[in-house]
Structure 1
Amino acid sequence: MRFTRPALGAVGAVGAFGLAELVTRTGLVDNEYVPPASTVLWRAVRMCGDTEFLTQVGGTVRVWLTGLALATAAAVALGLVLSAAPWLNRAARLVVELLRPIPSIALIPLAVLTFSTAAKSETSLVFYAATWPILINTLYALRDVDPVAKDTLRAFGFGTVPILLRVSLPSAAPFVLTGVRIAASVGLVVVVSTELVAGTGEGIGGFLMQSQSGGGQPDYMLAGAVWAGVLGLLATGVFAAVERRAFRWHGAGTEAEA
């Protein structure tokens, strides 16, 4: 049973690849604009030896992970503060609900004007977009912590801060990590989109823009998009593996309840 899910995922990937190849090979889509899936995949594999492209990928990853790390630290800290002070939580709820729906792409001009370098502006936008999934997950997780556990520590003379650090945060950690996993995907979309829209010529987004200059090279463009997808897949896999290993007790408890 352990290999059922990966096997099904592999079948789905092969099926999607085969369908994309069939659509282009049969002429349903013009090969001039959408190359066959096999051509795109081979181009993506060959990019492994392109030092310039790998440097651009590294730039995207660096900005992405920096923004995600800052968002995680800020969102968890803010979640703990709001959870410890219910009146502050109620006061901040309207602000959170107002800012959360604002798309990060709409803030690109502001970020470009505010920060001196493209990397800083991109990091700020990733930080903004990634903060909300982590914060919301943190708040809901802290709200659902077992009150008996908190009352037990309170009966032994522990204050608000020790209770948060000893009971609330460990209990909420699996849900916080789920928020980080969601935020990682959101952050990757934001950083690549920002590189595309801002036209900095850096990162994967910059590569996608350059691949369309001089008449366009759709195989290069789609291969670059494949790399972005691979990064997202790797991030999801890493966070899921960490969640299974670090919070095995949480998975066992969930299965027992089911």
Structure 2
Amino acid sequence: MAVAIVLTLVSQIGGLIWLLSLCITRPWRKRIGFAGFLVLFASLYAAGSTLSHAVAPIFGRVPLPCFDDASRLRMQSPLYCVLNRQYVVPKLREAALALSRQMDLVFPGTTTLALDGNFPFFDGFPLLPHLSHSDGRKLDVAFYYQDNEGRFLDKATRSPVGYFAFEQPSENSVLPCKDRNDILTLRWDLHVLQALWRPLLLEEKRTREALRWLSDEGRGFGVEKMFVEPHLAQRLGVSAENIKFQGCRAARHDDHIHMQVAK
């Protein structure tokens, strides 16, 4: 049961398929062994994920591109697609696609990478560890990076999943959470992990343009707000009433851009 709960939390449909696999294999479990069980589970899970593409629009969700090389927007890792975390409402998909077109127009050859969106079914179902990704209206977008020589690296992120590679503030940065020690918080610094990530540099021109477009032209596509750390907005020289700080108890937002659309 613990496995089913974990699979439900990370993929929404995985727990149900795990229990279904247990029921189907019960009469032949000794004969097929655990390996046979895993093969059945993987097959049913793949079928369930494929079916989710067809059924999700009934729940007002559509998938973002996973493996479409022709699109300038795609998921940062196949893992997000395997775990069914690439679903958003149609308005948000159009906004994300428009952002990717703008980035490719201003900086030809630029791919915009999406991170966590939402699951395919049901408003209110939590997408852990996020506090707000439960209605399909929120999407995280990866930063853009360059190498030490200043060459842009398309489709590159510092960490394997695009998260947790934090941009560190400078000495004179705006730090609203400085010296706070909240017991209940998702604001992890993850110091141990930082040295493990690729030594890439933030590509400031592209990241700045993404925030600028989202806060301006993005309004026409329903974008109502973005979350980004104040020190990063300060560093990039961007400001707008819809560029917000997520608060000191939510996860840090100097490793990605959080965008969301209005209802």
Bin for the TM-score computed over the shorter chain: under 0.3
User: Based on CA coordinates, which of the two structures has the bigger radius of gyration?
Assistant: 1
Q: Which has the higher strand share?
A: 2
The alignment's TM-score, normalised by the length of structure 1, stands at 0.25
Q: Which of the pair is proportionally richer in helix?
A: 1
Bigger relative CO (Cα 8 Å, ≥ 6 apart): 1
